[in-house]
C-alpha cells in the first residue's frame, strides 16, 4: 500500500546532534509531500510549544503528537489531551523522593513544572525541550492544569534500573519509557505515540499499513510496531533497531530526509502511467 502518513520522532531521529535539521532540504520535500497527499506528523516526547518552534513557517498546518502521545494537536486544534490521576501524581512524587540522583519535571497542557531549588544545570537542560517551564515552590502544589506526564533525568547507567523499579511499583498506573540520553518519561498506560497516531489516522481515514514511522529510542517502540513501514536510525537503541523493519542512515546524516526523498520518488514512479 502507498504511504499516506509519515511520523517522525525528533531528538536523535529528525534532528541532528546540534538540535537542528537541513531546513532547505525539508522545504523542498514538504510541498512534494503535500502534492502527494502524504501527511507529515511530528511525534515526540517533547512539549508541543517546543516542537512548533522547529517549523515556524508551517506549524499551523502540521499535526503534533506531543508529550509521547498525551497531547495531540492538528492544525492548532486540540485532538486529544490525557490526564494523570491526582492520586497517582502524589504517589509518584513520594516515590521519587527516594531517588536523590533523579531530577523531575511534571508536564501539563499549559506548562511544565520544576521545583524551586532544582539543579540549575537540569533546569537549563529542561528549558531546551520545554519552552513553557514554570518554577514552583513545591511540585505537590501546582497551578490548575491538566497534567499528563513526568519527565525524569538521571545518569545513562541508571535508566534501566529506574525503569524496572518504577514499572514494578506502579504497574498499570504509569508506564516508564526511555527517551534517550539519561531521560525517562512516565506516561499514562496506553497513551503513547501510537495511540496519538491512531487518533489522527481515524480522522484522516488512513490505515496502519499506510503509515511510515521513524524513531531511535524506547518511547518510539509502540509507534514503530504500529506502522506498516518502520524505520530505525543507525544511531538507534538496540531494541529499536530490532523492532523496526528497516535501519536507515543516522540522524547526523539526515537519514529521515534521505528516506522521505526515496518515498517520494517511489510514489511518483507509481503515478507514472504505464
Q: Is the pLDDT of residue 121 over 70?
A: yes
Same domain, 196 and 66: yes
- Look up residue 9 and give its three cell numbers: 520522532
What ranges in 10-137 are assigned the alpha helix state H? 23-35, 48-52, 86-96, 120-129
Q: Is the pLDDT of residue 128 over 70?
A: yes
Give 19's DSSP letter. Answer: S
Residue at which a domain ends, from 187, 206, 235: 187
22 is an active site residue: no
Structural domain including 261 reads 5-81+191-271
Residue 274's pLDDT is: 44
How many structural domains comprise the chain?
2
Same domain, 67 and 110: no
Residue 268's pLDDT is: 75
In the set 9, 11, 216, 220, the catalytic residue is 9
> Confidence band (pLDDT; 50, 70, 90) for 179?
confident
Same domain, 24 and 64: yes
Segment 21-39, tens digit of pLDDT: 999 999 999 999 999 999 9
Segment 243-272, tens digit of pLDDT: 999 999 999 999 999 999 999 998 877 655
> Confidence band (pLDDT; 50, 70, 90) for 180?
confident
Segment 215-245, tens digit of pLDDT: 999 999 999 999 999 999 999 999 999 999 9
Same domain, 22 and 39: yes
Buried/exposed code over 146-169 (b: 16+ C-beta within 10 A; e: otherwise): ebbbbbbbbeeebbeebbeebeee
Q: What mean pLDDT is reported for the chain?
A: 95
Residue 267's pLDDT is: 82
Mapped onto helix, strand or coil, the DSSP state of residue 183 is strand
Mean pLDDT of 53-75: 97
Distance CA 160, CA 10 (A): 22
Same domain, 157 and 212: no
On whether the CB atoms of residues 180 and 216 are closer than 8 A, the answer is yes
Same domain, 232 and 245: yes
Q: Is the pLDDT of residue 94 over 80?
A: yes
Amino acid at each position: 500500500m502507498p504511504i499516506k502518513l509519515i511520523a517522525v520522532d525528533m531528538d536523535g531521529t529528525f534532528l541532528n546532534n546540534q538540535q537542528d535539521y537541513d531546513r532547505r532540504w525539508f522545504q523542498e520535500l514538504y510541498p512534494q509531500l503535500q502534492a502527494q497527499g502524504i501527511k507529515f506528523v511530528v511525534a515526540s516526547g517533547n512539549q508541543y510549544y517546543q516542537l512548533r518552534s522547529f517549523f515556524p513557517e508551517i506549524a499551523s498546518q502540521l499535526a503534533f503528537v506531543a508529550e509521547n502521545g498525551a497531547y495531540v494537536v492538528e492544525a492548532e486544534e486540540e485532538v486529544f489531551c490525557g490526564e494523570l490521576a491526582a492520586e497517582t501524581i502524589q504517589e509518584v512524587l513520594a516515590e521519587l523522593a527516594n531517588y536523590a540522583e533523579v531530577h523531575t519535571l511534571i508536564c501539563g497542557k499549559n506548562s511544565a513544572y520544576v521545583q524551586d531549588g532544582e539543579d540549575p544545570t537540569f533546569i537549563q537542560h529542561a528549558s531546551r525541550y520545554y519552552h513553557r517551564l514554570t518554577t514552583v515552590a513545591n511540585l505537590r502544589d501546582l497551578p490548575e492544569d491538566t497534567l499528563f506526564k513526568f519527565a525524569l533525568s538521571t545518569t545513562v547507567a541508571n535508566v534501566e534500573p529506574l525503569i524496572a523499579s518504577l514499572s514494578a511499583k506502579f504497574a498499570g498506573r504509569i508506564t516508564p519509557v526511555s527517551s534517550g540520553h539519561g531521560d525517562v518519561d512516565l506516561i499514562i498506560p496506553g497513551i503513547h505515540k501510537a495511540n496519538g497516531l491512531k487518533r489522527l489516522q481515524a480522522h484522516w481515514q488512513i490505515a496502519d499499513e499506510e503509515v511510515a514511522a521513524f524513531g531511535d529510542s524506547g518511547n518510539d517502540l509502540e509507534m514503530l510496531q504500529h506502522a506498516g513501514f518502520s524505520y530505525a536510525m543507525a544511531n538507534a537503541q538496540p531494541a529499536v533497531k530490532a523492532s523496526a523493519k528497516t535501519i536507515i542512515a543516522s540522524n547526523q546524516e539526515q537519514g529521515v530526509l534521505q528516506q522521505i526523498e526515496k518515498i517520494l520518488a517511489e510514489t511518483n514512479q507509481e503515478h507514472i502511467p504505464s
